[in-house]
């Protein structure tokens, strides 16, 4: 792990598999050992401030928009009238920031198991975490799986903005959790879950898609480009009780705030569901 005297951060997540990347850092802004994990805010030379949990990059100021915009606007543009939204994870505030751009949204419950992630992001990453100041947002420091299981038929959209399937996030990659997501959604509800990389984690992706296929009448897997994530891409499993995310989404939903977006467009929305041939074969 980097210290004040070191100049390079090396990500831990894939290193046992013989792959990693390094980012030069200018300084450690803050490091804190919470009851759940080690939280670091690092100031990097090329990417601005960076949030790291247990040695794994969660986001950087430079490329966070391509992740947060796609995890939020794809489901919210697909749902007919999203009002009540649950975000599981998302302690940096970026997903809530994007959800709040939709005027139809009246309530966001954000369930982040580690309140210190929220605290440090509010302190050091205000371009993301200022979303917590909006009165429509309520933050709960609880286990996300238990939280959604206790709230059947309550949400129009559920967004699972989780870390990788290790430590406190591991339960969010189980079929039991996807079953709870189905229960937590209303009749026309949509859920989206962070679902790893089609290049590095194909087995995990296939497993998550199998859960969606077995539990929801409409499902899909889509991707976005995030250069500071393993392989430079990350994907999402979309689980819908009704509308199709490719043919049934509202192309005008984001028009009112299009000038605030860096990555998402209706064309990117559609294109993100196009997958490489080998992945299509694996997920079909």
Burial 213-240 (b: 16+ CB within 10 A, else e): eebbebbbbbbbbbebbbbebbbbbbbb
Q: Which of 92, 161, 164, 250 is catalytic?
A: 161
Task: Check if 161 is active-site.
Answer: yes
Report how far residue 193's alpha carbon sits from residue 91's, in angstroms, rounded to the nearest whole number: 15
Q: How much is the pLDDT for 152?
A: 97
| 279 and 183 part of one domain | yes
| 29 and 131 part of one domain | no
| 130 and 269 part of one domain | yes
Where residue 32 sits, what CATH number does that domain have?
2.30.140.10
> Which pLDDT tens digit goes with each residue over 2-59?
454 568 999 988 899 999 999 999 999 999 999 999 999 999 999 999 999 999 999 9
What is the total count of domains within the chain?
2
| 126 and 209 part of one domain | yes
Quote the Cα angle for 278-63-193, to 5°.
Answer: 50
Contact yes or no for 76/241 (Cβ under 8 A) = no
Q: How much is the pLDDT for 162?
A: 87
Q: How much is the pLDDT for 39?
A: 98
> What is the full per-residue pLDDT of the chain (284 aa) written as tens digits?
545 456 899 998 889 999 999 999 999 999 999 999 999 999 999 999 999 999 999 999 999 999 999 999 999 999 999 999 999 999 999 999 999 999 999 999 999 999 999 999 999 999 999 999 999 999 999 999 999 999 999 999 999 998 776 666 778 889 999 999 999 999 999 999 999 999 999 999 999 999 999 999 999 999 999 999 999 999 999 999 999 999 999 999 999 999 999 999 999 999 999 999 999 999 98
Tell me the whole-structure pTM to 2 decimals. 0.95
Q: Coil, helix or strand for 134?
A: coil
Among 67, 69, 75, 70, residue whose Cα is nearest residue 245: 75
| 121 and 234 part of one domain | yes
| Token pair of 261 as six digits | 């977006």
Q: Is residue 97 one of the residues assigned to a domain?
A: yes
| 97 and 44 part of one domain | no
- Which helix (H) or strand (E) segment holds residue 73: the answer is helix 64-78
Residues, the chain: 284
Report how far residue 91's alpha carbon sits from residue 111's, in angstroms, rounded to the nearest whole number: 8
In which domain, by residue range, is 100 found? 64-283
Where residue 161 sits, what CATH number does that domain have?
3.40.50.150
Alpha helix positions (H), 130-201 = 144-149, 175-184
């Amino acid at each position: 792990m980097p210290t004040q005297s070191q100049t390079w951060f090396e990500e831990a997540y894939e290193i046992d598999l013989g792959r990693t990347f390094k980012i030069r850092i200018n300084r450690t802004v803050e490091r804190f050992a919470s009851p759940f994990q080690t939280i670091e805010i690092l100031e990097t030379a090329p990417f601005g401030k960076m949030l790291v949990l247990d040695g794994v990059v969660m986001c950087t100021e430079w490329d966070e928009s391509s992740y947060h915009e796609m995890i939020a606007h794809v489901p919210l543009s697909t749902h007919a009238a999203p009002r009540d939204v649950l975000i599981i994870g998302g302690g940096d505030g970026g997903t809530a920031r994007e959800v709040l751009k939709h005027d139809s949204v009246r309530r966001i419950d954000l369930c982040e198991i580690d309140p210190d992630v929220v605290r440090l992001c509010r302190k050091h990453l205000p371009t993301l975490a200022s979303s917590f100041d909006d009165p429509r947002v309520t933050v709960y420091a609880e286990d996300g799986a238990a939280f959604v299981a206790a709230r059947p038929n309550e949400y129009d959209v559920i967004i699972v903005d989780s870390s990788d399937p290790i430590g406190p996030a591991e339960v969010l990659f189980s079929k039991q959790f996807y079953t709870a997501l189905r229960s937590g959604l209303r009749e026309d509800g949509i859920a989206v879950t962070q679902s790893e990389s089609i290049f590095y984690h194909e087995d995990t992706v296939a497993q998550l898609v199998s859960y969606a296929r077995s539990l929801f009448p409409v499902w899909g897997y889509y991707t976005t480009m995030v250069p500071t994530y393993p392989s430079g891409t990350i994907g999402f499993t979309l689980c819908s009780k009704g509308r199709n995310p490719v043919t049934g989404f509202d192309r005008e939903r984001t028009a009112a705030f299009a000038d605030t977006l860096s990555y998402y467009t209706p064309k990117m929305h559609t294109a993100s569901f196009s997958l490489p041939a080998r992945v299509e074969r694996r997920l079909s």
